[in-house]
Amino acid sequence: MYAHPEVLVDTQWLQDHLTEPNLRILEVDMSPDLYKDAHLPGAVFWSIFDDLLLPNLGQNLDAIAFQSLLSRSGITPETMVVAYGSYPGTGAWIFWLFKLFGHDNIRVLNGGYQTWKAENRPLAAELSTVSPVPEKAVALNPDLRVLKEEVQTAIDHPNTALLDVRTLEEFQGKIFLNQPPTGNERGGHIPGAIHIEHLAALNPDGTFKSFEELQKLYGEKGIIRDREIFPYCAIGGRSAFVWFVLKYLLGYPRVRNYDGSWNEWSRISELPVES
């Protein structure tokens, strides 16, 4: 059993609770096109590019901006939020983001949109409308993230593991995000980083692997609970997913997400890079 099974909801549970007034289903995707065609009944939509990222592709961690998102989506501190997306792992990224801003009543839909659709569960085409709620002040919890200065000091430190969760092509420096590096972008990885792609934590149907499978997957590569783990990816979303897996499914005590990730690290010329 997972260390914190309560952070996951399965598709049957969610279908049984779709009409609960204190539940808000949240779809997060790069484009609203899929949402407009067929989304979970009652789900509200957040755009990755318009709502969550800055123009430089860094995450928008401004408390006022996040507070506004919650207000517009009808989410109060008492609202239970269930997050999902069409891309595997999106819900776990949103879990990290909510926890970062102190909203603890957040759950991840196990399997996400992929599993929901494969099981022929109900989908809606009409756009969901919710009434905005008064804005409540939120504050960022710095304990859930790590900054580049500490990442740099962690290189080759035996008690710390840097975990690169991007694709192998990204890790090897062949591509930057989704194309070869250009301009001031550098391909490669942080020296000494261990590579385990984030999708390795999922079954083919998009659900999370078992506790035992996850423990074996990470433990065999030196990602063990005795070390402090700093996962990173390109812009901090996939690494937030792995943060969720390690901290909430496996119960690792010391995991912090490097949300600046490769988008930040690779552009700073004095920071070391391996390929």
What's the confidence (pLDDT) of residue 261?
A: 98
Catalytic site positions: 233
Q: With 0.95 as the threshold, say if the pTM is over it.
A: yes
Write the burial class of residue 251 (CB in 10 Å: 0-12 exposed, 13-18 middle, 19+ buried).
middle
What's the confidence (pLDDT) of residue 163?
A: 98
In order along the chain (275 residues), what is the average pLDDT of each group of 10 residues?
A: 98 96 95 84 95 96 97 96 93 98 97 96 90 94 97 96 98 92 92 98 96 98 98 97 98 98 96 95
Question: Cβ distance 239 to 258 under 8 Å?
Answer: yes
Pairing relationship of beta strands 8-9 and 228-232 according to DSSP bridges: unpaired
What's the confidence (pLDDT) of residue 212?
A: 98
Alpha helix locations (H) across the chain? 11-16, 33-37, 63-72, 90-100, 112-118, 148-154, 168-171, 211-219, 237-244, 261-265
What's the confidence (pLDDT) of residue 228?
A: 98
> In what order do the strands lie in the sheet containing 160-164?
194-195, 160-164, 228-232
